[in-house]
Structure 1
Amino acid sequence: MEKYKPAGFWIRFLANIIDGILIYIIGAIIAILINDERFFSSPGNEANTWYSSPSEDISNLIYVVVFIIVFTASKYKGSPGKLACRIQVLNVEMTQISMLKSIGRFFAYFLSALPLGIGFLMAGWNEEKKGLHDIICSTRVVYRI
């Protein structure tokens, strides 16, 4: 069996930054196509800032469904940001995860975010470089071989 090196906090953080940039570009393209001026306005410029623009809603849905859930459970084993950083999400048996596990992993992100993102930071200080969501779902984020 091949030996995989666990991916730590900072490389995973970089992958999320790349995903964020890509999803912003997708949102901007959608905003241009549907003439959504609110997407490009500064926060606080409008009387009611509680509501997101339609382009933001669409790009957030694309991010969750496609980038986080579908890409992770596909043959790519990770989002475009993870692909760019040469890391992947696997089961503890080092095999591709299922769609159901990918969905569960997404919902476990909410637990990792509470309180103060400590569940994500755990990937920086435990030996196996696992975040709380990885522990809950029995997954690993490792470098590609």
Structure 2
Amino acid sequence: MEETQQMTEQGIEQAEKSVTYIGFWKRVLSSIIDSLLLMLVTLPILFAIYGIEYFTSEQPIQGWADGVVNYVLPIAIVIFFWLRFAATPGKMVWRGVIVDARTLGPMSGMQCALRYIGYIISTVPLCLGFIWIAFDDKKQGWHDKIARTVVIERDE
């Protein structure tokens, strides 16, 4: 039993040595790509529901549909991409995938939820949780640390 666990741990250590972590600037560009793509989805929906007035109004939230389209829909889309493809389209540009930090295997639904909640935590203090990626050995942001995930380059 102990020998098997040692072999597994050695296999994980060996796999980690051959991993290429996706760094800060590629992840920044990935976020920009993802944000633009989400806008291509949400803005036409909001225009169809509220008309041009939506974009000229000073009210922060126009109604229940505004909340659903701007908050619930993006969360659903992002988590869908994480579960289905292990990456968002922006990360796919760099052949990046989000995996469990320990096993380098697929992340669970719980990890996806924790990672998304971690986005909020990473954002609140001046985006320090995202800036952390630039200085971390495994290029993990706070959201990655919370969910125990890493973003790596997928093997061809």
**Which of the five TM-score ranges fits, normalised by the shorter chain?**
0.7 to 0.9
| Distance of aligned partners of 1:85 and 1:56 in 2 relative to their CA distance in 1, 3 Å threshold | farther
Matched, 1:97 2:97: no
How many Å separate the matches in 1 of 2:91 and 2:62?
Answer: 27
TM-score (norm 2): 0.77
State the identity %.
25
**TM-score (norm. length: structure 1):** 0.83
CA distance in 2, matches of 1:84, 1:38: 35
The reply to whether residue 30 of structure 1 matches residue 45 of structure 2 is yes
Gap change, CA 1:39 and 1:5, over 3 Å in 2: farther
Secondary structure (helix, strand or coil) at the match of 1:90 reads strand
User: In structure 2, what residue type is equivalent to 1:99?
Assistant: G
Superposed, 1:1-145 pairs within 5 Å as 1=15, 3-34=18-49, 36-41=51-56, 46=57, 48-52=58-62, 54=65, 57-67=68-78, 69-74=79-84, 76-92=85-101, 93-145=103-155
Consecutive unaligned residues of structure 2, counting only runs of 5 or more, are 1-14
- Cα RMSD for the two superposed structures: 2.1
TM-aligned CA distance change 1:8 to 1:52, over 3 Å: farther
Of Structure 1 and Structure 2, which has the larger fraction of its residues in helix?
2
Could you say if the C-alpha distance between residues 34 and 108 of structure 1 is closer, same or farther in structure 2, counting changes exceeding 3 Å?
same
Q: Which amino acid aligns with 1:89?
A: I
Q: Deviations over 1:66-124 (max 9, x none)?
A: 12x121122x1011221123211000111010111101111111221131111111100
* 2:77 counterpart letter in structure 1: V
Aligned residues: 138
CA displacement, residues 22-62 of structure 1 (integer Å, 9 cap, x when unaligned):
11111233134435323443xxxx3x422246457414322
Decide whether the 8 Å contact of 1:36 with 1:55 is kept in 2.
no
Pair 84,39 (structure 1): closer, same or farther in 2 beyond 3 Å = farther
Q: How far apart in 1 are the matches of 2:62 and 2:23?
A: 33
The one-letter code of the counterpart of 2:33 is I
| Equivalent-residue separation in structure 1 for 2:54 and 2:28 (angstroms) | 25
Equivalent position SS for 2:29: helix
SS at match of 2:71: helix
Q: Distance in 1 between matches of 2:75 and 2:82?
A: 11
Q: What one-letter code is carried by the residue in structure 2 that aligns with 1:58?
A: V
CA contact (8 A) 2:34 2:90 kept: yes
